Amino acid sequence: MIIATLILTLLAFPSSFRYRKILTADIRASLNADINAQDNNTDIGHARLGVQGKLLKEFQYQVEVDFASTHFWKDVFLDLHHIDYAQVKIGKFKLPFCMDELTSFRDLDFVDRTFTARKLAPGRDIGVMLHGRILKDGLSYQAGVFLHDGENSESKTGVRGVPGYATRVTAQPLKNLHLGAAFVGSDVPEGLNSLREKGFTTVFVQGPRLRFGTEFSWEPGPFSIKSEWVHESEARKGQGIHEENLPARISRGAYVTVMWHFAKPFQLGGRFEQVRNGSADPEGMPFSSPRAPTLPTETQNIWTGGVNWFVLPFAKIQFNGVQNGHWAAEARFQFSM
């Protein structure tokens, strides 16, 4: 309903805004060294079409859809930008959390986002957000309220936390140096509704789902270093076999990325990432039961290396090798006009 209202608002003022067409698409291919793997494929990762521009001089807007996604509507919002330090954004867009998740897929260093971004970051939802820049643009903030805690939070039952509260603060104390911290909180209804993460135990949860994150980026010339750390906890109130409270389920993710633009059309990069799940204050024997008091500590270490070839200003080709228990090769062709 909110999305439809925003679109009708734009159509009601056909002479008051300028628009720019956006057409983006990418094709991905993956080859898994594990002969039993089910994810050897070629597919369309994104096939997007949209418009963006200004409305009545004081508003920026964007409407974007993705024909290859299960969530057809992507960014659909109005942004009142009259005052730099107090702008208001309303519609559907990404919750302000996780630098890698907030990076446009057109600007990603690798074929895929980090596991941390794909599984622990909230993603998009409908809401309203206050944001701005202060201290001569050296400090930025974002604070919003959303209907849920993001599309990435959907569990096997399709349940998200409600509502979602998000804040993020970023600073640039030195040239090319970026620092940030963010928080997202929501409340998850009772059920087998923990975050859906391949390779990790899904458990019964009830109560607050809290996310904390820090981010770092330094880009001195042709080199760049990026890193993030995300901590996520899900309460399990009354989820024991005798309806007792259980220790929260804990998920953590962290990564370090190093990139080198060694020639004009080419860029080399490497990334190490670790993700871990378990229980808060683990005591006793761990079990994989969804109602176990102590959950097993499960860890994945993922190595990614790759090369980016910027064929044209609007097109690039990416080749990646990924080690996550076994080797896989990934390739991606992307263009944006």
pTM: 0.88
Chain centroid offset of residue 243 CA: 34
pLDDT means per 10 residues, the chain with 337 residues, are: 54 48 70 58 70 84 86 92 90 97 92 93 96 90 97 82 96 94 96 80 93 97 95 96 93 97 93 94 84 91 96 90 93 84
Q: Please, are residues 95 and 125 in contact by the beta-carbon 8 Å criterion?
A: yes
Residues sharing a CB contact under 8 Å with residue 118, sequence separation 6 or more, in sequence order: 101, 112, 152
Q: Could you tell me whether strands 298-312 and 266-279 are parallel, antiparallel, or unpaired per DSSP bridges?
A: antiparallel
Q: How far apart are CA 234 and CA 188, in angstroms?
A: 8
Q: What is the DSSP string of 14-72?
A: TTSEEEEEEEEEEEEEEEESSTT-S--EEEEEEEEEEEEEEETTTEEEEEEEETTSSS-
Q: Please, are residues 21 and 336 in contact by the beta-carbon 8 Å criterion?
A: no
Can you give the pLDDT at residue 19? 46
Q: How far apart are CA 334 and CA 23, in angstroms?
A: 11
List of domains in the chain = 28-45+91-336 (2.40.160.10)
Can you give the pLDDT at residue 35? 45
Alpha-carbon dihedral of residues 329, 72, 316, 32, nearest 10 degrees? 0
Q: Which two tokens stand for residue 56?
A: 């009545």
Residues across the chain: 337
